[in-house]
Amino acid sequence: MKKLIALVAALLLGLSTSALAYTDKNLEAPRAKDVVIDGDLSEWDTSKSLKIDSLNQIIDQIEHWDGEADCSMEAYVMWDEENLYIAMKILDDTPLVYREGFPLDELDAVIFFLSTDPDADPARTEYTATDWRIVQSAYGYKGEYEFFNYIDRDMIADTQGWDTQGEYGDEVVFDDYEAAIVSIDGGIVWESKIPLHNLSNKNIPQLVPAAGMTIGFDFSILDVDLPCPGIHSLRMQYSSELDGRDRKPEMHAVDTNPSLWATLTFVD
C-alpha cells in the first residue's frame, strides 16, 4: 500500500512538474514558400492553426465576451531561415479599435510570445533575454492601414541590451516588418512577416529556425469595442484553460512566466 501511495505521489508530482514546463498545446509551422504579404492567404498552408475561440481561454473581462463573433481568432505561422510569417483570421464585430495615446491593453491588439532559444529551460518561471512579448496593433482608415509594434521587455531582469520599445504605440519598431490587412465578413485577415534579426543584438543570438525545432510560443488577443479610458480589453490566451467566471490575468500569468506558454514546432 505504501508503495502504491508513493507511486501515485510520484505520478502526481511528475504531472504537476510537466504542467509547468510549457503546456501541451502545440502549433506546427510549415516552411514558407513564396509568401507575399498582401492579406491574401491563398499561398499559405493553413492546415495547421491555433484557435482562440473558447470561454476557458479568457483571462480578463469575461463579462464582455459575447461569443466567437465578438472576439475569436485562428492563427498560422510559417518560417524560413530569416523570417517568421504570422497570419491571423480575426472575428471581431468592431475590429481594429485604435486610439493614439491609449495604452495598448485598452485597445484591439494581438500579442505573440516566443523564445528565440530552442534550448531554453521549458520550466523557467521568469523571462530571460531570449523571451519576447510582442504586441501588434493597427489603425485602419478607408482600407489603408498603419501598423505598430510594441516589444515589452520590462519583466526581464537582464535584457542584454534589448530594452522595451514602442510602449506608447504609434511606432514601427521592427526593421523590414511587413504587414497587410483585408476586411472579411465579420472581421479581418492580417498577414505579416517579422525578420528574425530584429529579435537579436550583439549579445542575443538570432534564432535560425530548422525543421524539427520546437520553441516556447503563445498567442493572445485583446478586444475592446468601445474604448473608454481605464476600460481594459477583453483578453483571451491560446494556452489558457481556466474555469469559473472569476478571471484575472494573474491566474494565467504568461506575461511573466514562460512555463505557462504553449509551443511552436517548425516542420517542412
Which residues are at the interface with Ca ion (CB under 5 A)?
36, 38, 40, 70-71, 92-94, 97, 108, 223, 225
- Determine phi and psi for 258, rounding to 5 degrees: -65, -15
> Taking the alpha carbons of 181, 85, 136, 70 in that order, is the dihedral positive or negative?
positive
The C-alpha cell 525543421 sits at 211
Smallest distance, Ca ion to C-beta of residue 107, A: 8
Identity of the residue, 22 or 139, whose beta carbon is nearer to Ca ion in the bound complex = 139
Identity of the residue, 91 or 262, whose beta carbon is nearer to Ca ion in the bound complex = 91
For the chain, report the end-to-end CA distance as a whole number of angstroms.
Answer: 49
- Amino acid at site 126: E
Smallest distance, Ca ion to C-beta of residue 95, A: 6
Say if strands 262-267 and 26-30 run parallel, antiparallel, or are unpaired: parallel
H or E segment and range at residue 15: helix 2-19
Alpha-carbon distance of 200 to 216, in angstroms, equals 16
Identity of the residue, 13 or 55, whose beta carbon is nearer to Ca ion in the bound complex = 55
Coil, strand or helix at 231: coil
Smallest distance, Ca ion to C-beta of residue 38, A: 5
Smallest distance, Ca ion to C-beta of residue 259, A: 30
Please, which residues bridge with residue 124 across strands? none
Identity of the residue, 10 or 36, whose beta carbon is nearer to Ca ion in the bound complex = 36
Alpha-carbon distance of 70 to 75, in angstroms, equals 17
DSSP state of 42: T
Smallest distance, Ca ion to C-beta of residue 115, A: 27
Alpha-carbon distance of 227 to 212, in angstroms, equals 42
Identity of the residue, 45 or 225, whose beta carbon is nearer to Ca ion in the bound complex = 225
Contact between 156 and 128 under an 8 Å Cβ cutoff? The reply is yes
Identity of the residue, 119 or 185, whose beta carbon is nearer to Ca ion in the bound complex = 185
Smallest distance, Ca ion to C-beta of residue 3, A: 54
